[in-house]
Structure 1
């Protein structure tokens, strides 16, 4: 039983009160920067991706009933410890799909259009030196997507709108025929741009290394 009349929810990582409090509604108190005394009575934790939720954190939260991750990755949460304490760990699939997909394309455009060095030229008044930089177009290029979940599928849709050819590889997802390839090696060998949208697991760790770039 909780030691408090209201349920205390703590934020572990930067999560603004003005975002969380209206969603929680009445009956909950959200603590944005919890002190040890807040952790001791908290029944729920909203956890950002960079926060490591290890055994010591579990020990500091004896009343904890649920962990909510702001995203889909759980690699920094000790899932075995959570399971041993019967504490569910929930994720928020779809909450950041558009943001990550659009961010992916912002990076692709940044690199293809050489926005970094060209912006510096403009700032320095040296625009006449722009011919020193080779700028590419995305139309007609091939984008290889490794991991065809919600984000990967959204990236594929954006790429198609740019006139790019899309290859996708994922051993678990249903990939449209027009994007499907015979193997990951084929994708690596035939893509102009490669983007990864995978959970970090023992199977995916180190998936792309020196050998992949030699394919």
Structure 2
């Protein structure tokens, strides 16, 4: 029987071609609802998902499953332990999106510095004078602190190299370079004009940035989070923004996605919000589709995947 690959969301044609050329049936589903996925993927040998939760209950509804491929770096929404117990590989695409996320991170740093969204919105609100009472800030001469100096953090530092800023970073597994000094965690919060979060979502990073960290930050400093919403204590961030403990924040990720329009963050003027778009580009989607589907092919052909996040017993 031909092996089946289930795609709850469609992917670029280049990825589907890799799967069909390998001789698999490709089933494009109708969305991320868990009950829909359980029904549509019931015969799947492989599944390629986004950020939706994928737990033991869903896995058990797909008894032939051999690999769960994740379009992206983070795999916190997948119950990796449950997958491992069931002999299912979990793979991701860690090399496909570093450039794109780094570009978006720098873009958001610049946008929040120049008050770009609010100034643009003011035109549509017929308020040309808004700019006079809401000047932006220059980035040159400032200190940028990067929390997490992996692939993405390193690309952020590289892309900031032409902006005449001092870049420091915190990462227990990284070493200083010619252009980036590795410092302790508190130094990032105490001395940075911009704190950029590029940490993985792990038990030790969950809700690891809150009131204590915001109190350490300068009153005119900004927080930029391009990692995962769960790393920030959102209610405490809202308080810090309201109280003027920090100047502002640029957020691309949230604990609850989609972010409800009634969320308190939406009403704050010193916040730039974007809907998890850091890697949402044509080029990156194609790269992720290629990397994810190639690992699916490897697993279904009985080979080792290149980007497994778990290890299965032989």
The alignment's TM-score, normalised by the length of structure 2, stands at 0.63
Quick check: 2:143–2:192 contact (8 Å CA) kept in 1? yes
The equivalent of 1:32 in structure 2 is: 28
Task: Choose 115-124 or 98-107, whichever is displaced more.
Answer: 115-124
Where 1:214 maps in the other structure, the secondary structure is: helix
Q: How many residue pairs end up in the alignment? A: 209
Change (3 A) 1:212 1:129: closer
Match of 2:16 in 1: 21
Instruction: Tell me the equivalent position of 2:184.
Output: 183
Alignment of 1:172 with 2:173, yes or no, is yes
Which residues in structure 2 correspond to 1:30-179 (within 5 Å)? 30-33=26-29, 36=38, 38-49=40-51, 51-176=52-177, 178-179=179-180
Residues 135-174 of structure 1: CA deviation (Å, up to 9, x unaligned): 1111111111000011000001111121211011100123
2:2 is matched with which residue? 6
2:174 alignment partner, SS class: coil
SS at match of 1:40: coil
Please state how far the C-alpha of 1:47 moved relative to its aligned partner.
Answer: 1.3
Q: Please give the alpha-carbon distance, in whole angstroms, between the structure 2 residues aligned to 1:192 and 1:39.
A: 47
Tell whether the 8 Å contact from 1:146 to 1:168 is kept in structure 2 after alignment: yes
- Contact 1:20–1:30 under 8 Å retained in 2: no
Structure of higher RCO (CA pairs closer than 8 Å, 6+ residues apart) = 2
Change (3 A) 1:174 1:18: same
Mean Cα deviation higher: 174-183 or 25-34: 174-183
Matched position secondary structure for 1:206: coil
Q: Which runs of 5+ in 1 are unaligned?
A: none
SS at match of 2:189: helix
Partners of 2:18 and 2:50 lie apart in 1 by 17
Provide the C-alpha distance between the structure 2 equivalents of 1:23 and 1:102, rounded to a whole number of angstroms: 28
1-structure distance, mates of 2:158, 2:10: 30
The whole-number CA distance in structure 2 between the counterparts of 1:102 and 1:17 is 21
Q: CA RMSD in A?
A: 1.8
TM-score by length of 1: 0.90
